[in-house]
A and B are shown apart, each in its own frame.
Chain A
Amino acid sequence: MSKRIDVKDLNVYYGDFLAVEDVSINIEAKSVTAFIGPSGCGKSTFLRTLNRMHEVLPGARVEGEVLMDGDNLYGPGVDPVTVRSQIGMVFQRPNPFPTMSIRDNVLAGVKLNNKKISKGEADVLVESSLRSANLWNEVKDRLEKPGSGLSGGQQQRLCIARAIAVEPQVILMDEPCSALDPISTLAIEDLINDLKDQYTVVIVTHNMQQAARVSEKTAFFNIAGTGKPGKLIEYGNTQTIFNNPAVKATEDYVSGRFG
């Protein structure tokens, strides 16, 4: 239930502006891959091209190929809606649907894809998804209450439960802990560790310790200056990137000497 992603020569544009230039990267199945780099270097933008969320913005487009187990996500006739139902996403700020209960939030994606789900099946799915997101014990007595009543960290885990309820191939996380306190962050990191047994996880983070703690491979993105496109500078095992990087810029960044 997880697939690998291979990106070939991807250029990402906002209108005429080239935001990310010429990225090629191979992301392993059932692993955690972290994207690090200074603000504005295009790592979030690049992440959003992996489930075709980038093109939601007017004028945004890409050139190149993103292959999920060999199938080009940008091939002719590929429906972005189908792509997104197979590649889940967790955002920087928790965004449960405020008008839905906790239970309905978990089922939101499932109801889109498979309208007829019996109450029994739904109950099982809600429990298993919330268990996988380490949230079940905290919310099992208030499933009918609004998701917006939870704490920030709980809301973010609810969003993760919502993403895994549709059984995606890949889960993308865009700075999932940047709005959370250290304890909630730890809970999410533990969860990421569990998720990689079943899913391919790609995480963007500003927190280098976090990248070091959770990921097996790390990609460092950088930007030459304002208005210049972001580039993938170095990609390798997390150990190597943090302890023995090949590129000077990577070493400067991970040792905190700039950015």
Chain B
Amino acid sequence: MTATPLSSSQGAGRAGDKIFSGAALAAGCLILAVLFGVALFLVVQAIPALTAPAAEIQGGEGFFAYIWPIVIGTLIAAVIALVIATPVAIGVALFISHFAPRGLAAGLGYVVDLLAAIPSVVYGAWGAAFLAKEISPAYNWLAGNMGWLPIFQGPASATGKTILTAGIVLSVMVLPIITSLSREIFLQTPKLHEEAALALGATRWEMIKMSVLPFARPGIISAVMLGLGRALGETMAVALVLSSGALTASLITSGNQTIAAEIALNFPEASGLKVSTLIAAGLVLFVITLGVNMIARWIITRHKEFSGAN
């Protein structure tokens, strides 16, 4: 028997290992390069708008005065979408993963995934042509009965093309993302933890509160953040549904605008400094999304000790 020297490396296996690690490294670097390239492009192109004299920016009061109302508008639309979509999505996901009979669960999961396949322009058309009209009586009621709240101050928009309608359309659009991801996480809850709760005499809902939701918490946050990313960046649906205007507190009058829709509506006819202004707006959206994701990461890691990963 001949001893194999420890220093010699076996040809084929080694090469495969190297190719694989090289490919993985390249893929990782590519993502960073693309991200960096986009950021660089946005910054370079935005500089003229950021340094231009205030009077030359649209509105005549400088870039900051131009951007902050649509930043607020973007956040309002995204928050409305998440406030509506998150509880519904978690409910649907729990129903599919833990309550529905197996046949129904598969069908329902398929239908929810189908929602994600509908193009956003179709959602926009539906929101503008159907939902806005149907929902305006409800806005009138809100203005009449809840009008003392600034967000429901009248007079309500007669067309229904408001930021609230846009938020509702967005919520339908982010629903499938949050639902599918949450469902996958719920299904991964260790059987052992579910049985621990059941064996203590927990009802199904108590079992979900004790084992499923704590286990799924980081996953739910990630899912919501992905949904938020889509809601922040969604362009077509908002552009079609919202009759935009100046920033207003009331959600049921026309007015407000989001960054993505602002860029989409103005970019085709823009030139010179206007292009630069819109790209700077894009840069702001990029920074907001990045910030949101970092906050989400921080929330997830804050409870690492209790995550069950150790």
The yes or no answer to B306 lying at the interface (CB within 8 A) is yes
> Taking each of B193, B201, B215, B310, which has the highest tally of chain A beta carbons within 10 Å of its own beta carbon?
B201
CB of B202 closer than 8 Å to a CB of A: yes
**Which of B192, B200, B203, B305 is the one whose CB lies under 8 Å from A109?**
B200
The one of B192, B199, B203, B214 in contact with A99, judged by C-beta atoms closer than 8 angstroms, is B214
**A15 at the A/B interface (Cβ < 8 Å)?**
no
Asked if A53 meets B306 with Cβ closer than 8 Å, knowing A91-B192, A97-B210, A98-B215, the reply is no
Give the residue of A58, A83, A84, A149 whose beta carbon is less than 8 angstroms from that of B310.
Answer: A149
User: B284-299: which have CB < 8 Å to A?
Assistant: none
Residue B24 at the A interface, CB < 8 A? no
- In this assembly, does A236 line the interface, its C-beta being within 8 Å of a C-beta of chain B? no
A211 at the interface (CB under 8 A from B): no
Which residues of chain B come closer than 8 Å to A88, judged between CB atoms?
199-200
Most B-side CB within 10 Å, residue of A91, A112, A146 = A112
B191 to nearest A CB, angstroms? Answer: 9
What's the nearest-Cβ distance from chain B to residue A131, in Å?
A: 20
Find chain B residues with CB under 8 A from A84 CB.
198-202
Binary interface encoding of chain A residues 95-136 relative to chain B, with 1 for a CB under 8 A from any of its CBs, else 0: 111111100000011001100000000000000000000000
Contacts of B308 in A (CB 8 A): 98-99, 148
* Residue B56 CB within 8 A of the other chain: no
What A residues does B197 contact at CB under 8 A? 97, 108
Complex contact B211–A97 (CB within 8 A): yes
Cβ contact within 8 Å between B192 and A95: yes
Chain B residues contacting A56 (CB-CB under 8 Å) are 195, 198
A162 at the B interface (CB under 8 A): yes
Contact of A112 among B193, B206, B215 (CB under 8 A): B206
Q: Are B201 and A97 in contact (CB under 8 A)?
A: no
- How many A residues face the partner with a CB closer than 8 A? 33
In the complex, the answer to whether A100 meets B306 with C-beta atoms within 8 Å is yes
Chain A proximity mask over B168-200: 1 for CB below 8 Å, otherwise 0: 000000000000000000000010110111111
With the chains together, A98 CA to B196 CA distance in Å?
11
Contacts of A149 in B (CB 8 A): 305, 310
User: Shortest distance in angstroms between B110's beta carbon and chain A's nearest beta carbon?
Assistant: 20
Residues of A within 8 A of B214 (CB): 97-100
**Residues 46 to 65 of chain A near chain B (Cβ within 8 Å):** 51, 53, 56, 58
Q: A91-B192, A93-B192, A97-B214 are in contact. Are A51 and B199 (CB under 8 A)?
A: yes
B187 to chain A, nearest CB (A): 14
Minimum CB–CB distance for A216 against chain B, Å: 24
Interface mask (B226-258 → A, CB under 8 Å = 1, otherwise 0): 000000000000000000000000000000000
With contact pairs A53-B195, A91-B196, A97-B214 given, residues A146 and B201 touching in the complex (Cβ less than 8 Å): no
Q: Which residues of B contact A (CB under 8 A)?
A: 102, 190, 192-193, 195-203, 206, 210-211, 214-215, 217, 303, 305-308, 310
24 chain-A/chain-B pairs, Cβ below 8 angstroms: A58-B102, A81-B203, A82-B201, A84-B200, A86-B201, A89-B199, A93-B192, A95-B192, A96-B196, A97-B210, A97-B211, A97-B214, A98-B308, A99-B214, A99-B215, A100-B214, A112-B201, A112-B202, A113-B201, A146-B305, A146-B306, A148-B310, A149-B305, A162-B200
Given contacts A83-B201, A148-B306, A166-B200, list 14 more A-B pairs with CB under 8 A: A58-B102, A81-B202, A84-B200, A85-B200, A85-B201, A93-B192, A95-B192, A96-B196, A97-B211, A98-B214, A149-B305, A159-B196, A163-B199, A163-B200
Q: Which residues of A contact B (CB under 8 A)?
A: 51, 53, 56, 58, 81-86, 88-89, 91, 93, 95-101, 108-109, 112-113, 145-146, 148-149, 159, 162-163, 166
